Structures are given as C-alpha cells and as structure tokens.
C-alpha cells in the first residue's frame, strides 16, 4: 500500500486509528463516550417539570406560589405579602456547591425585582439567603425604583460592583445569565457579555463588603461553599434552563 493511499485510508477511518492500535469502531466508541461524559458534566438544577432538588429557605417544601408551566419556573405574585409573596419565599437548592459554572434564563415582569443568590449558608442563624450569599441582580431597570441606586441594576453584583456595561433586555423579555465561581474568581455574564469580573475573599473583597449594606452582617460573602437561591421579592419572575457544571 502506497503512502498516499495509507494517508487517505487513515483519514477516512478505514484503517486503525493513527497509532494503529485502536480500530475505527473502538475509536468512534471512545469519541462517543467522551462526548457523553462532557455533556453529562452539566447538571439540570430544574428539570422543567417539577421542583425536585429545591426547598424553601429555612426548611420545608417549596411554597405553592412557585409554579412550573411550559418548562418554566415562575413565582405567582398575586398574593403579595409585604415585600415577599404569601405561600412563596426564597427557594434554595438541596445541594451545596463550591466551584461551579451556573447558567440560567430569567424574565422579570414590569416593575419587578428578584435575584439569584449563591454561596448561601442555610442555618437558623440567618433569616434570609442574602444575609450570607452574594447576588446577581434581576430587575426591571426601567420600572423598579431600585434601579435608581448604583449597583442595584440588573446584572450587578448587588450593592457591591456595578456592571461594566448594561446589556439587559427590557421587562418581559428573556435574558441569558451565567455565574462562574472558581477558587475565588467570580464572573457574571449577561446575554453573552462579561459584565462583572472580580475576586472574592481578598482584602479588596472585604473592603467592598465594609462599604455596602452588608457591613453589619458578619457572615456575608465569607462562605466558600453553599446553596443557590431564587429570590422571592414579591414580584412575578420566570426562570428556565437552570443548569450547573461543577468545576
């Protein structure tokens, strides 16, 4: 067999894989296994049909104001009770996460407010998730009064760092968000644009907290492993495609 035919045969998969030790079928099987392994690294935190894997912060089942329909998880805020929703409350993952890449889509009602909070330490010591966990803000920037406060707008690291640019879609439109937390490095991505890039648990991080509304909360921003929460802020909000990869 001449060298030209050998090269063509190898390229078309008719002979052994380049080293000659693995058959074409074995090579294809290995490729499939690698693909499956890569895809399975992503965990669906929301299966699109149930509230499995979630509970109400502080314990107990998810309140009935949180509903699932058409592959979406939403908070029915008709029964508003103060700044939260009757039969609602913040919900958190059953599992705690350390280093992770989180992806999710969100859509907020007009004048609405919510958020995704992470590294939450759930205990009787803390009444709410935001007393320990940092938050990626979910907000109608055009309608909610919180948008008048710098660092409280959609995509911001709430009350700590302002987004580098504003790329949020208007109320009632979907946004694609990502939170990447890996060994202290923290990135927020919104609609394909990196808008926050910082490092946690450093002197600069501690200074940010000291100059924020969380300054009198000794547990805030200190935990390096914790739950992830969807916030009940008393407004209609939708989430979907919530998935996570452990890093």
Residue 107 above 70 pLDDT?
yes
CA 245 → CA 4, 44, 200, 233, distances in Å?
Answer: 44, 9, 20, 27
For the chain, what is the mean pLDDT?
Answer: 88
Give yes or no: residues 31 and 54 share one domain: no
pTM of the model: 0.84
Question: Which bin fits 201, alpha (ψ -120 to 50), beta or left (φ > 0)?
Answer: left
DSSP code per residue over 43-76: EESS-SS--TTEEETTSSSPPTTEEEETTEEEE-
- Mean pLDDT, residues 205-213: 98
Same domain (yes/no): 26, 50 = no
Same-domain status, 62 and 95: yes
DSSP lists the bridge partners of residue 81 as 84
Q: Identify the H or E element spanning 24.
A: helix 24-39
Residue 16, domain extent: 3-38
Mean predicted confidence (pLDDT) in 198-215: 98
Q: What is the domain-level CATH number for residue 159?
A: 2.60.120.560
CB 230 within 8 A of CB 239: yes
Q: What is the mean pLDDT of residues 125-140?
A: 98
Q: Which residue has the tokens 């009198």?
A: 216
């Amino acid at each position: 067999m001449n060298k030209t035919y050998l090269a063509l045969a190898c390229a078309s998969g008719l002979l052994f894989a380049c080293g000659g030790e693995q058959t074409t079928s074995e090579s294809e099987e290995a490729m499939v296994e690698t693909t499956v392994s890569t895809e399975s690294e992503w965990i669906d935190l929301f299966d699109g049909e149930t509230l499995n894997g979630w509970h109400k912060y502080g314990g107990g089942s998810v309140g009935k104001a949180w509903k699932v329909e058409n592959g979406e998880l939403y908070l029915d805020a008709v029964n508003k009770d103060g700044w939260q929703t009757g039969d609602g409350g913040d919900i958190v993952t059953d599992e705690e996460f350390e280093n992770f890449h989180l992806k999710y889509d969100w859509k907020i009602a007009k004048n609405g407010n919510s958020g995704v909070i992470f590294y939450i330490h759930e205990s009787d010591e803390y009444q709410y998730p935001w007393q320990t966990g940092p938050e990626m803000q979910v907000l109608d920037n055009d309608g909610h009064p919180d948008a008048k406060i710098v660092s409280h707008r959609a995509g911001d690291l709430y009350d700590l760092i302002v987004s580098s640019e504003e790329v949020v879609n208007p109320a009632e439109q979907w946004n694609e968000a990502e939170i990447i937390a890996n060994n202290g490095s923290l990135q927020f991505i919104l609609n394909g644009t990196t808008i926050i890039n910082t490092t946690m648990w450093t002197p600069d991080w501690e200074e940010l907290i000291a100059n924020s509304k969380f300054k009198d909360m000794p547990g805030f921003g200190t935990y390096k492993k914790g739950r992830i929460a969807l916030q009940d802020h008393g407004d209609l909000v939708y989430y979907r495609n919530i998935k996570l990869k452990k890093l």
